[in-house]
Amino acid sequence: MTKLSLGSHPYMLGFEQLERLLERSAKSGNEGYPPFNIEQTSDNSYRITLAVAGFAEEDLVITVEDRQLVIRGRQHDDTDTRMYLHRGIAARQFQRSFVLADGVEVGDAAMENGLLHVDLTRAQPETVVQRIKINKG
């Protein structure tokens, strides 16, 4: 018996892109930093919240690349100007990626008490019934 992938299943026509998106997100290897929440704020909207304590707004970059929301953070290293007796808070950079479905758009982003909120909305597609004419052969 042969194993069918999602894109090659006979009833799933045109879903090859979905299979590629699943593979890409599985390979992204986000190691858990920074921690985040995803909440559904209404039937057609979501909010991603990342805990980015220690980062300023200018240290964060939010982009959408090929239906993928990418949030990057880079803190500037100030070891040249300070002498630490103990350094337990590391300045580290991060990259978090979220694959967006078709129709999901990125809205506003806001910082509040060390949390970065990114709002997403999903457009409701209209139901279209199309009648296909059968040609005589």
Query: Is residue 132 assigned to a domain?
Result: no
- According to the model, what pLDDT value does residue 67 have? 86
Query: Across all residues in the chain, what is the average pLDDT?
Result: 84
If asked whether residues 94 and 65 sit together in one domain, one would say: yes
If asked whether residues 26 and 72 sit together in one domain, one would say: no
If asked whether residues 75 and 117 sit together in one domain, one would say: yes
Specify the number of domains making up the chain.
Answer: 2
pLDDT tens column, 6-28: 656 667 677 776 677 667 666 65
Cα–Cα distance measured from residue 53 to residue 115, given in angstroms and rounded to the nearest whole number: 7
Interior CA angle at 63 toward 7 and 56, to 5°? 140
Domain that holds residue 40: 34-122
Query: Is residue 137 assigned to a domain?
Result: no
Name the one residue in this structure whose structure tokens are 């590629």. 20
- Give the CATH number for residue 81: 2.60.40.790
pTM confidence score: 0.70
If asked whether residues 18 and 39 sit together in one domain, one would say: no
